[in-house]
Structure formats: structure tokens, C-alpha cells
Structure 1
Amino acid sequence: MTVTAAPTAITGAQVFDGEKALGVTTVLVEDGRITRLGGDPPEGAEIVDGGGATLLPGLIDAHVHTNREALALALRFGVTTELEMQGLHTRDNRAQISEDDTVADVRSSGFGITPPGGHPSELFPEGFRPGPPPGAKPTGRPPLMPFSTTPEEAVAFIPQLIERGSDYIKFMVDDGSVEGHPGLPMLDQATLDAGVAEAKRRGMLTIAHTLTVDATRMAVEAGIDGLAHLFMDQPHTEEVIDLVKDAGVFVVPCVVLNASMMGITGGDLADDPRVASRLDADWDKTLRSSYGHYPQGKIEDVLAAVRALSDAGVDLLAGTDAAVPLPFLGGLAHGASLHHELQHLVRAGLSPVQALRAATSVPARRFGLDDRGRIAEGLRADLLLVDGDPTTTISDTLNTRAVWRRGTRLAA
């Protein structure tokens, strides 16, 4: 005999549906889905009083490197989906995660196309092997490492990545200059062009790691769909903003990562009691450190570029590049840093509503996640209830009152 759980009615909260504020209305959740907006709660429903709070779609971090523990941490901060930009969680390797409502959901590129010895190998200390973390036990086949130096190699890897379950295809376009390793092996234009064309021919979304204006230009000229970073080597120009805009490319600025590369730690965020109470000692130490590879960078230039892209109508997606709790990958923590990124976007000149869209409806639309990112009838009940009103005060996103993944409320 199957016992159906009673529906949940969230009442009295202001609702931000991923695009706009709807005002105070009731949201009814049944069997993991949003079944109704407005009206009176049905008889027998579990009532959640949202008075004085705002109900948001579950947040989406559009750039991470993750594992089960990190996905659990992310969910505690209301991040219900993480988009992995290098890692193990391809389609065949995440069945247990997809069915576990105590962790965030995940999509993944698998491993990015890069030359042997290319990015991200330079980030790791000597003797540290980039790739799957020590002791990792994926449930499917081991990951494919698509090292490419020619157009033919890049093209050949695309169907293999698709067959291995990559949700989108990532390309590394990095000469190491920002990371303090100039002259790093890097994809050339012909190899990048061929790989992107083949991926798009097969219907795959393409995204590029780019930290410089030159790499940005290469990726856009190759026909890339999105940029996983915002350049940080020089101020923006009208020419590069127009290049991105005219190509319809989306950008995941990862301002928190750029700040960390410049030596700016996440110490202020770690001091926030709303964050400190949810981090263990390792994550606290990591958040208080930084990458520190590009101290000559200027965060003001990055923020100005974010503002220019937004003003030009470019789709901006909130992402962090959070990885694992190691000090040399510092300044970032899963979940917490996405809230920090939203604060940076507002600091750059976006409205709080624009910043919230960057973590909800916009990444869902650009990554084809049609079942989430908004509060609408029929969609997944991935929800975040916060005290206050983040549509006017963005830091209120950290005032977590409740989190639901597929209608299952996360235990406090």
C-alpha cells in the first residue's frame, strides 16, 4: 500500500518566481512538484508559515567542482543545483545523488578539453594529481581525460564525452598568465574551432574557461555558447563587450574567484555568523585563504566589466568556482560563496532582482534545465525560504528559514 504524503502549503511569504516578485501568495507543493500558486490551502495540508519571509526558487551555482560532501554543504545554503565544470558527476555517475534529497542536484561537463600539461595542472602543488580526488569511487566508468593538441583529436573526443554522459562540453583556453605560469600549453584557435563546431553539430551546449581578453575573443570567435569566467587581465573595452553581446554568449563572471586570484580572501563572509554556523574548520580555513596568483589585478575593473555586460543585455549567471577545502584553492566555499557572488553582482551595479535571476531563471534557461529555476506550476519544488526581502536587500538570501529539494524539506 502506497502512502502519499500530505501536500505542503507555504503561506504568507512574498514570492519571487525567478523573474519577478509576485507579492504574497500561497505556494502548494505535492509529490515533489509545485502544483498551485494562490488560493487557500487544501484541507489536510501541512502549513508552513512564511510570514515576514521571501520564497525563492532553489539557487543554481553555475560553476563548481564538487563531491557529495560539497553538494550537502551547498544545499544547506539553499543551492539546490550545482553545475560542475570539471569533475566526476556525468550522467552515468550520479544516480544516487539525483535521488538523494539531502544533497544538491548536479550536472557536469565531465573533464574539459585541454592540451597535456595545460590548465588546470598548474594550479596544483608538485606531486598533487589533478583529476578525480584521492579515493573517489564513481559508480560508473572512470572519467574521460580529453587531452587534445590538434583539431582531429578535439573532434574525436566530442562523441566520447557525450557517450560518457557529459551534459555540456567545456574547453580550457588558458595560457597560464593569470595563474603565474605564462607559456602554459593551450588550445590553439584551429583546435578550439573544430571542437566547438563538432559539439554544436551534435546539439551540445559549449562553454569555455577564459580568464583573459585574448582567450575570451578566441572562444567567442570559435562560436562558444558561454564563458565560465570573466576576464581579469585588463579593463573591458566597448569592443569586447560588443563582441560578447553580438554573439549571444552568456557569462558566468565568478567575481568571487577573480577576487581570490587577486589575493582577496573570503574572510568577511566567513565572519558572518549566518555563514560561520554552517562551515566546519576546513571550509572556514579555505574561505579565509585565497588563490593569490594575480595580485596585480583590480577588482574594480572586474566589477565595471560586469556592469557593462549587464547594461549591454548579456545574460549573466551566478557561479563561484568553489572546489574542495584546500587552502591553495581558497577564498571559496560551496553554497556560501554563491551568496557572496550575488552581493558582488549588486556591488557591480545589478539590481537585487537581476542578481537573483542570475542564480535562478537565467542559468536554468541557458542550460536547458526546464524543470527548475522558477516557481511555477508543474516545476520541481526546489525552494528557498529566507527571512526578509532579498529583492531589495540582497544579503537577506543568507537568512535561511527553510530549504526544499523536490518538495522534501531539509532537516535543520
Structure 2
Amino acid sequence: MALSRREFLTLLAGTGPLASGMLAPGAHAAPAPPDGIFALAGAVHPGRGAVLPGHAVLVRAGRIEGVVPAHSVSDRPVVAPENASVLPGVINAHCHDLHTAGERRERWLLHGVTSIGDAASPLRRLPALLDSPPGRTATPSACGPMLCPPGGYPLPVHSPEHALVIASPREGADAVRRLADLGVTRIKIAFEPGVLPEPYPLFDPATASAICDTARRLGLGVRCHVEDLSGLAPALNAGVTTVEHVPHRLHDQGTVRPVLGPDNAPVPEYLRLLERMARDGVILTPTLDVFTRTPWNGPALFEPVRVFRSLGGRIALGNDFPYRRTDAGMPVREMRLLAEAGLDQRDVLEAATATAAEACGLKDRGRIAPGLAADLLMVRGAPTPDALQDPVHVVKDGVFVR
């Protein structure tokens, strides 16, 4: 029998007895172990790789010690609800406007989203966004303002605070270094001409390459906003590591052209670029939730994702909160839409954990493996979107927050 949440938290505080049913076979009641030493047992879904039924995740001092057969654990309390799954905390890799630790706790962490990727923030918001007390709020990945050429996206449609104007390769390299000093984990750029007859300005190749090269030397990936197929090749040529959104239209001299052929397959140029992304390990964050709420909803969103996944491409989960009435909390709608685009349950979970962590540059999160942060969820049954809406437990940096 499993302890109640209150009983278990009391136990971890060192003030409660070890309850019947929580001992591993052959273990005997003993004084409570030090705070922060416990195990979560069930079917372990590591985020990437095979499921391990009947295993336990060992936690000590906020970190994962290992994954072992559950029956072998005798040195710590074991939380083992009936028919439970243990998985990494979910990561929403593409969000905006969640800057304070309190916001991230209430809107995300308490629902099982243990980290978020902020995909562009005003410079003045960075200190609040990077304030991340362990065990108390969702861990942030920050980009700071989006780097753009004069007049380029996001300036025509968003607040100037969300942009940092770059007019030369030298300015681009200097901006990356300044943002790195401020603590960002990713750089954000765009190759976005918009849908007007006169396209928005785009980075020239030298400036885009200077940004990406400098970021790579500093260990930072580059996330690139690409809605228009005309921007995908320049983004890949520059060296971006993540493509944000699904290129779903083609701006051609004032005319918007389709990106799919009569059979709904990506046009040859698009297919070649998807193959290149898959070969080079470039991650795609489709943000289907936000775009299915627009007139662009349809095969042009789903078919490129389906093809990219079939090519072995890596996909990260992000719903572009708060735009177009997307929701905070567990991003179940994005999960279901990824499934509609051809991802199976394991693919969706990997997109929401291991690959989302890589897209955000969160090197110690997103998987269940020794040495990584103990950001963990427990759900009843398989980790489907329905089960994830109501997790049994949420553990953040080894602290039970739910």
C-alpha cells in the first residue's frame, strides 16, 4: 500500500514512521532516512529508450542516482502506486511571457511541466526569468530578445522589446556574446518574410553565419522562427540548431504558394530540406497547437511533420503559449496534435522530454539517467495525454511539489 502524499512528505521530513507496504521485500522498519533520499517505482519511461517495467528511480539530494529493479531497493522509502509509470518532467520548449518564478510555478510546475523554453523575451525581463530557485519553480531556458535585421521580424508584428536589431556580422557576434554573459541558454533569430506583397527584410548570409558561429563556439544553440519555406534553406545554411514552427507556405514575389503537391506530399524542394534537417540533427518544434487555431490549419501543417518523423527527424514539443488562446499547464493539445501528425506514444513522450530539453539547451534534464536532475512525474497507467493531465506526483529537483 502506498503512503498518502501527506504521510510521505512527513516521512521525507524525518518525522514519520516507515509505513507498512512501503518496504522493499526483506526490509525492516528503521528510522527515517535523511531528507531527499527516496525511490519512485513502476514502469520507468526514461524519455529516450526502452521502458523498464518493475523498476525504481533512485533519488538523492535532488539528483537521480540510478534506475534499478524495484525489488532490490532496501535503503530508502519507495513510492509505488498501483499500476504507476515514472517519467521525466514534461518540458514545454516554446513559450513566451512567463517571467517570474511564481508564474512558472503556478502555471506550469504544479501541472507537471518542470521546465519551459522561453522563445523570446525583452532584455529587461531576463533577471526575473533566470530566477529559478531549485525545487520551487519550472526551470527556464532563455533566449532574450530575438536578433533581427533592421525592419525584420518580429518588429512588424510584435513589441520592439522582443527584438535586438543587428546590422552587421560584427554586431551579430557581439550581441551573442553579450547575451551569453547575461545567462541565456539559446539564441533566437528568424528567417520570416511574412505574407505581405513586400517581404520583411531577412539576414544576409554573412550576418546570420556570424551569429550562429559565435553561438556554437560559446556552446549555445540557435533557434530560428521559420513559417515560410523560403526561409528554411537560409536558416539551415547559417547553422541553426532548431527550426521553430512548421514552414507551411511559400512567399514568392508577392504571391503565397502551397508547400504541398497535389498528393499532399511536400514539394521536392521541401522534401530535400526535411531530409537535410533529419541528416544534420536539426530539431523541429512544430507548435501545432497555435497554428491549428489559424486559417493555415490543414495538411500543410501535419504532412511535413509526418514526413520529417518518418525520416528519423527529431521533434520537440512546444505550444507557443500564450498566443491564440493556447493554454498553460500540461500541453495535452499539442501532444494529441503530434499524435495526429504521425508520432506514436513513445515519440510524443520523447518530444516532450529528451528532445525538448535538447532544443532548450537544458543539459541535465529531460531524461531519467544517473546524475541528471530529479525532475520526475508519476502517473497511473501509461503516460498518455489523459493520464498526464492529472499526475499522481510531481517531483522537482528531488522535492515533491505535488
Give the structure-2-normalised TM-score: 0.78
Letter in 1 for 2:47: G
Mapped pair 1:349 → 2:342: yes
RMSD in angstroms over aligned alpha carbons? 2.7
* Among 322, 328, 334, the residue aligned to 2:328: 334
Instruction: Please name the residue that 2:362 is paired with.
Output: 369
Question: What are the equivalent positions in structure 2 for 1:99-138 lying under 5 Å apart?
Answer: 99-124=133-158, 129-131=159-161
* CA 1:258–1:82: 2 relative to 1, 3 Å: same
Structure 1's 224 and 387: CA in aligned 2 closer, same or farther, altered over 3 A?
same
SS at match of 1:118: coil
- Give the structure 2 partner of residue 285 of structure 1: none
1:121 Cα offset (Å): 3.5
Q: Would you say 1:250 and 2:283 are equivalent positions? A: yes
**Counterpart residue identity of residue 169, structure 1:** I
- Quick one: structure 1 residues 103 and 6, their matched pair in 2 at CA, closer, same or farther if it must change by over 3 Å? closer
Taking the aligned partners of 1:406 and 1:89, their CA distance within structure 2 comes to 27
Q: Distance in 2 between matches of 1:96 and 1:300?
A: 38
Q: Which residue of 1 aligns with 2:309?
A: 310
Counterpart residue identity of residue 166, structure 2:
S
CA distance in structure 2 between the partners assigned to 1:353 and 1:42 by the alignment? 31
Instruction: Give the whole-Å Cα distance in 2 for the aligned partners of 1:60 and 1:157.
Output: 27
2:95–2:319 Cα contact (<8 Å) kept = yes
The answer to whether the Cα contact below 8 Å between 1:34 and 1:378 also exists between their aligned partners in 2 is: yes
Could you tell me how far apart the structure 2 residues matched to 1:190 and 1:96 are?
31
Quote the residue 1:146 is aligned against. 164
- Contiguous gaps of at least 5 residues in structure 1: 133-144, 263-294, 324-328
Please state whether the residue corresponding to 2:39 is helix, strand or coil.
strand
Task: Determine the C-alpha separation between the residues in 2 that align with 1:357 and 1:394.
Answer: 13
1:255 CA drift (Å): 1.1
Matched to 1:384, the amino acid is L
Partner deviation per Cα, 1:269-308 (whole Å, 9 max, x = no partner): xxxxxxxxxxxxxxxxxxxxxxxxxx2x242221111110
Residue matched to 2:173: 155
The answer to whether residue 5 in structure 2 is matched with residue 14 in structure 1 is no
Call closer, same or farther: CA 1:362–1:91 in 2, change over 3 Å. Answer: farther
Q: 1:344 to 1:359 in 2, by over 3 A?
A: same
1:232 to 248, 265, 272: 248
Residue identity opposite 1:79 in structure 2: V
Query: Post-superposition shift, 1:40?
Result: 4.0
Distance in 2 between the 1:182 and 1:321 partners?
Answer: 26
Q: 1:244 to 1:378 in 2, by over 3 A?
A: closer
In structure 2, list runs of 5 or more residues that go unmatched. Answer: 1-12, 15-33, 250-258, 261-265
Give distance in 2, aligned partners of 1:377 and 1:23.
18
**1 CA distance for matches of 2:204 and 2:353?**
34
- Determine the C-alpha separation between the residues in 1 that align with 2:170 and 2:35: 54
Structure 2 counterpart SS, 1:241: helix
Matches within 5 A, 1:25-36: 25-36=55-66
Q: Which amino acid aligns with 1:313?
A: G
Q: Residue 400 of structure 1 corresponds to which residue in structure 2?
A: 391
Counterpart CA distance in 1 for 2:150 and 2:341 is 37
Letter in 2 for 1:42: S
CA distance in 2, matches of 1:84, 1:257: 15
Corresponding residue for residue 381 of structure 1: 374
Q: State the shift of 1:245 in Å.
A: 2.5
Mapped to 2, the partners of 1:353 and 1:52 lie a distance apart of 18
Q: Secondary structure at the match of 1:146?
A: strand
Identity %: 27
Instruction: Give 3-state SS (helix, strand or coil) of 2:292's partner.
Output: helix
2: distance between equivalents of 1:241 and 1:371? 28
Aligned counterparts, 1:81-230, within 5 A: 81-87=115-121, 93=127, 97-124=131-158, 129-131=159-161, 146-177=164-195, 183-230=199-246
Scaled by the length of structure 1, what TM-score is found? Answer: 0.76
